[in-house]
Chains A and B, each alone.
Chain A
């Protein structure tokens, strides 16, 4: 069975500091990986995705994630965070389950950026 583990439920960090949000997945088949962000009182928005090819994927707002097959990880990083990055971040894996393509989500990591 596929599963996603986000190792930190909360990550406090100061503005302009680097941050890493950790995500590990388990799957016996090829997967597609996603990071979603949820700002307060909003739905989830796609941040970035890994489908194939280069193992490093980037978003338009400075986040990047690296697919590591041997470690079954897809950690999210940003070299310098802003107050506006305060949000909850969800890692998700897409795979065929019972003949249907579903997303399996981690429990989420709440990123709090402090001035």
Chain B
């Protein structure tokens, strides 16, 4: 089974801090994704990566950046955390460069609170 591991289940940070969320997958998947999940809004794509050192903006990239130095690891960075970034963050990975029918595999999520 595919395993997507997010480094923290719960995280509490202060406004203005730089925050790192880490995600690791163990199935050599090419594609990786970061979403945020908010009640009533479903999942919204923040950034994604189709290959090492490659990144593309999703639908809500403002206030975030990402890093993919190795194939198995995809990091989400909140440059200067704000209270409106309090949310559940989900990482996902998928096999294939542009495989339309391949499902995404999700981690258990990081519930981030910004105080």
Contact = CB atoms under 8 A, between A and B. Distances in A.
B41 A94 contact: no
A101 interface: yes
A44 B101 contact: no
A90 B99 CA distance: 20
Contacts of A14: none
Given A43-B109, A100-B98, A107 B42 contact: yes
Contacts, number: 58
Main secondary structure of the interface of B (DSSP, over half): loop
A94 B42 contact: no
Contacts of A36: 106
Nearest to A34: B103
B74 interface: no
A43 B106 contact: yes
A68 interface: no
Contact of B100 (A9, A32, A44): A32
A46 interface: yes
Contact of A90 (B43, B100, B105): B43
B34 interface: no
A100 B48 contact: yes
A111 to B, nearest CB: 15
A61 B59 CA distance: 33
B4 A43 contact: yes
Given A43-B4, A100-B98, 4 more contacts: A44-B104, A96-B98, A102-B45, A108-B40
Closest 3 CB pairs of A and B: A43-B106, A105-B42, A107-B42
12 contacts: A42-B108, A43-B109, A44-B104, A46-B104, A96-B98, A100-B48, A100-B98, A101-B98, A101-B99, A103-B104, A105-B44, A107-B40
